[in-house]
């Protein structure tokens, strides 16, 4: 066993660059059950950016918008649209994480930086991930303030939610260009000490029309799972190619959010207007013969469109949203695990056929 040269405590947060963080905050509060706990912007003497920290369970999203056209966030939104720009990991030492990863070939983007305020010292650094995505290392061990220097605590009624039961980030999936998956697998292995957890080839993940390949990388402690997809050749344009085209490059495709009660969570999200992919009724015929006995009522799962899969360790329930912005790029998965440690591979075909129906509606399921 290799020593863990880049130990990671947890996923600290995901930072989204968006065109209008004020409105995005309301969306994640009303539709996804997040509460705005901290804010930084003009009112807190922060001149360039407005950022909203949205929290639910152990999940932290930061929604940021640039306040001028030449700000890098505005430039990013112009190119990619709204999406996840930063995967922030809490580490015991942001200086060491930067040195260890850049010594092994990662490209440094933010050299180790220390910010000090009345609440202590906040240290961070960042390296380049796939596309324009940054992997940020955050060390909070000497910091007791609200989120980060410059942020003030918030308790605004309209951005306060009781939650919909989402409690953790289960995995974060990236899409990269054709032929680039292996390079990114190697990047996470070499520079961060991640291991290959599982590999899906284009025979596992193929429909009549399109295919993709995927490898799941996991950190040394097994807490962080980062699947990486690349398109494979098929008769029609694959969903990965559609993403790469509209995102103008690689980036985060979906984030899986864990719940302990997916029926309750999805019922509440649907009630607020979150659009999920539609699962055909035929999926639920003979479902128990395919996946064995499960605790949840099948008719309820069918009503909501929740998918079921089983592996040697147990079963899981999952469902996927439609893209959460006009570009067919970032979407979310809601997942409830009952022992299963896989990613719903038994559902890949049904899932990708559902995605292709949406691609066809967008005029993007075209011959290649």
Binding site for Fe ion (CB under 5 A): 256, 333
* Pair 212, 232: CB distance under 8 Å: yes
Closest by CA position to 242, among listed 143, 323, 336: 323
The least CB distance from residue 341 to Fe ion, in Å, is 13
CB count in 10 Å sphere of residue 28: 21
CB of 235 to Fe ion, least distance (A): 24
Look at residues 133, 190, 225 and name the one whose alpha carbon lies nearest to residue 5.
Answer: 190
Strand pairing class (120-128; 134-139): antiparallel
Cα radius of gyration (the chain)? 20
Q: How far is the CB of 336 from Fe ion (least distance, A)?
A: 13
Judged by CB, which is closer to Fe ion: 54, or 334?
Answer: 334
- Measured from the CB atom, the residue of 74 and 218 that comes closer to Fe ion is 218
Angstrom distance (rounded) from CA 287 to CA 181: 33
**Toward Fe ion, which CB reaches closer, 193 or 344?**
344
Specify the residue for token string 């809601």: 334
> Would you say 12 or 333 has its CB closer to Fe ion?
333
CB of 165 to Fe ion, least distance (A): 18
Minimum distance, C-beta of residue 333 to Fe ion, in the bound complex (Å): 5
CB-nearer residue toward Fe ion: 150 or 227: 227
Residue nearer to Fe ion on the CB measure, 138 or 256: 256
Residue (122 or 320) nearer to Fe ion, CB: 320
Contact (CB, 8 A) for 335 and 351? no
Cβ proximity to Fe ion, 205 vs 256, nearer residue: 256
β-strands 10-17, 59-66: how paired? parallel
Q: Measured between alpha carbons, how far is 333 from 18 in angstroms, rounded to an integer? A: 20
CB of 30 to Fe ion, least distance (A): 24
Minimum CB distance to Fe ion, residue 303 (Å):
22
CB of 205 to Fe ion, least distance (A): 12
Pick 77 or 301: Cβ nearer Fe ion: 301
CB of 343 to Fe ion, least distance (A): 5
């Amino acid at each position: 066993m290799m020593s863990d040269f880049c130990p990671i405590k947890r996923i600290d947060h995901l930072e989204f660059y968006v065109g209008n963080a004020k409105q995005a905050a309301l969306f994640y509060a009303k539709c996804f059950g997040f509460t705005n706990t901290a804010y930084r912007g003009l009112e807190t003497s922060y001149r360039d950016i407005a950022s909203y920290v949205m929290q639910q369970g152990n999940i932290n999203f930061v929604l940021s918008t640039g306040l001028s056209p030449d700000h890098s966030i505005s430039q990013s939104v112009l190119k990619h649209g709204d999406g996840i720009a930063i995967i922030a990991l809490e580490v015991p030492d942001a200086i060491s994480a930067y040195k260890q990863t850049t010594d092994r070939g990662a490209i440094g983007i933010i050299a180790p930086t220390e910010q000090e305020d009345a609440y202590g010292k906040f240290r961070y650094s960042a390296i380049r991930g796939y596309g324009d995505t940054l992997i940020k290392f955050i060390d909070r061990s000497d910091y007791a303030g609200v989120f980060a220097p410059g942020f003030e605590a918030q308790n605004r009624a309209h951005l306060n939610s009781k939650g919909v039961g989402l409690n953790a980030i289960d995995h974060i999936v990236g899409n990269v260009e054709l032929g680039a998956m292996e390079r990114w697998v190697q990047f996470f292995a070499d520079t961060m000490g991640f291991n290959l957890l599982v590999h899906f080839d284009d025979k596992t993940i193929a429909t009549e029309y399109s295919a993709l390949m995927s490898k799941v990388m996991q950190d040394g402690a097994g807490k962080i799972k980062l699947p990486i997809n690349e398109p494979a050749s098929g008769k029609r344009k694959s969903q990965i190619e559609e993403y790469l085209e509209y995102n103008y490059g690689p980036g985060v495709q979906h984030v899986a959010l864990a719940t302990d009660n997916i029926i309750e969570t999805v019922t509440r999200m649907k009630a607020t207007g979150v659009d999920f992919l539609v699962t055909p009724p035929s999926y639920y015929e003979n479902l128990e013969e395919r996946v064995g006995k499960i605790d949840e009522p099948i008719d309820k799962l069918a009503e909501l469109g929740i998918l079921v899969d089983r592996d040697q360790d147990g079963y899981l329930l999952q469902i996927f949203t439609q893209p959460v912005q006009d570009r067919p790029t970032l979407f979310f998965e809601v997942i409830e695990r009952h022992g299963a440690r896989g990613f719903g591979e038994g559902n890949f075909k049904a899932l990708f056929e559902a995605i292709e129906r949406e691609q066809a509606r967008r005029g993007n399921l075209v011959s290649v």
